[in-house]
Amino acid sequence: MSYLVFVFFMCLVLTLVWVASNPSPYYGAAGLVSSAVVGWGVLVGMGLFLWCQFLIYLGGMWVVFVYTVSLAAEPHPEMLGSHVGLYFLGYFSVFVLLGAVIVWGWDVVGLSLEVRTSFGMCLVSVDFVGVPLLYSWGDLIFWFVGGPYYWSCLLC
């Protein structure tokens, strides 16, 4: 779990550098959305409240982005052609290489990234498995448990 949070923090730094490199509004909006997604990934263990807060924040950002892009539309937006964009690309490449060295370096030393869960050994913690399990088996459980109540409410 701590490794995934570390990766999310590294991505958060990269997305904030992306926003701080003063790109055109198109790329700035993409940078802010990606930093919000990665910030949510850092706090993913908080539960449903954080998910609702993230969706509200993302909805507000989309309204602001549409308004900003419509007012400041450029015929030729710049991102990687400027020197700041090239610096960003260079730093991003360095961080990706460092992340790869750290991840594969742990396995060389003998430490693995596997997390002990109730399902056995896996690369992902239980916190990250909850929502996919809800969408895979949870719909059947909700259907059988809550289905009769749902239909009785519709018939009344």
Q: Does the structure show a pLDDT above 70 at 100?
A: yes
Q: Is 136 part of a structural domain of the chain?
A: no
Q: Measured between alpha carbons, how far is 65 from 40 in angstroms, rounded to an integer? A: 19
Q: Is residue 31 domain-resident? A: yes
3-state secondary structure the chain: CHHHHHHHHHHHHHHHHHHHCCCCHHHHHHHHHHHHHHHHHHCHHHCHHHHHHHHHHHHHHHHHHHHHHHHCCCCCCCCCCCHHHHHHHHHHHHHHHHHHHHHHHHHHHCCCCCEEECCEEECCCHHHHHHHHHHHHHHHHHHHHHHHHHHHHHHC
pLDDT in tens, 39-71: 888 777 666 677 777 778 778 777 777 777 777
pLDDT value at residue 71:
73
Q: If you search the block for the tokens 């997305």, which residue do you land on?
A: 15
Number of domains in the chain: 1
Whether 27 is covered by a domain: the verdict is: yes
Centre a 10 Å sphere on the Cβ of residue 25 and count the other Cβ atoms it contains: 17
Q: Which domain holds residue 63?
A: 2-113
- 98 versus 76: the higher-pLDDT residue is 98
User: Is residue 90 in some structural domain?
Assistant: yes
Is residue 60 domain-resident? yes
Is there a domain that residue 155 lies in?
no
- Report d(CA 31, CA 19) in Å as an integer: 5
Question: Can you tell me the mean pLDDT for 125-142?
Answer: 63
Confirm whether 145 is domain-assigned. Answer: no
Among 8-12, 22-26, 59-63, the minimum mean pLDDT is found in 22-26
Q: Whole-model pTM above 0.95? A: no
Within a domain: residue 46? yes
